[in-house]
Amino acid sequence: MIHAAGATKCVKQEEFDFHNYLCTRHLVEALKAADMMPRQFIYLSSLSATYGSTYGNSKLKTERWLHETLDGSETGLVVFRPTGVYGPREKDYFMMVQSIGRHVDIAVGFEPQVLTFVYVKDLVGAIISAIEKGVMEGTFNVTDGGEYSSRAFSDLIQQEMGVKHVVHVTAPLWVLKAVSVVSEEIGKQTGRPSTLNRDKYKMMAQRDWRCDISGMIDVLGYHPQWNLARGVKETIAWYKENGWI
């Protein structure tokens, strides 16, 4: 079983615990009650589980419960912690594409930031590899193996879109925090989760998203096929072909 369901944005922060922890717990308890537990349970967590956001904490709480519940059972538990996942149909990074299409690129924080990414096909490939190799335990960070500056992603988007001139604006973190608070409050009033909120602020304020993927290489034979340049090229092509831009 591949469990990739969950919430990355909620109207209220406490809802992360319900969607990501309680719903997973109810699923596993229902499977056990029906005597339908799979041989291998693959859980899609997040690299955010290591950085203390409300979203990340809900993922970490779920990981710990799964380990406590499945350790010693006949069901093997494999946990993937992908970094920022991008690709066709993804909507959060698409907001950057739209912004660059309007000739504006907005970054936050003046301290240098090191980012990591993984193209969706590489993440899927890692999951398939775990299934084919019959891996029954392990927690694996997932990136494309590269480390990027905060401008790398937007520069590649600009290149692939053929946008000649972009105004690059860097806002201080306190501005981002203020906007996040206001956006979250508006979301509560409208009942619609906002992409930008206080929890998202904690993740965007994080300056270092590097992680160790040696476990993926040693155990799964993981070799990323899409570096950022190739992944962005394919993503922008998909957006164009499908009328998103």
* CATH code of the domain occupying 2-241: 3.40.50.720
The answer to whether 96 and 157 have CB atoms below 8 angstroms apart is yes
* 102: its two tokens: 């309007």
**Interior/surface letters 116-139, b for 16+ CB within 10 angstroms, e for the rest:** bbbbbbbbebbbebbeeeebeebe
Segments of the chain assigned E as strands: 2-3, 40-44, 76-82, 84-86, 104-108, 114-115, 117-119, 137-142, 148-149, 167-171
For 4, other C-beta atoms within 10 Å of its C-beta total 11
Cα separation, 56 vs 200, in Å, equals: 10
Q: What is the pLDDT of residue 78?
A: 98
Higher pLDDT, 185 or 62: 62
**Model pLDDT for residues 99-154, shown as the tens digit of each residue:** 999 999 988 888 888 999 999 999 999 999 999 999 999 999 999 999 999 899 99
190 pLDDT more than 90: no
Helix orientation angle between 94-101 and 228-241, rounded to the nearest 10 degrees: 70
Beta bridge partner(s), residue 79: 43, 139
Q: Please report, rounded to a whole number, the percentage of residues in the chain having pLDDT higher than 70.
A: 100
The strand pair at 148-149 and 114-115 is best described as antiparallel
Q: Where are the domains of the chain?
A: 2-241
Cα separation, 195 vs 57, in Å, equals: 18
pTM of the model: 0.90
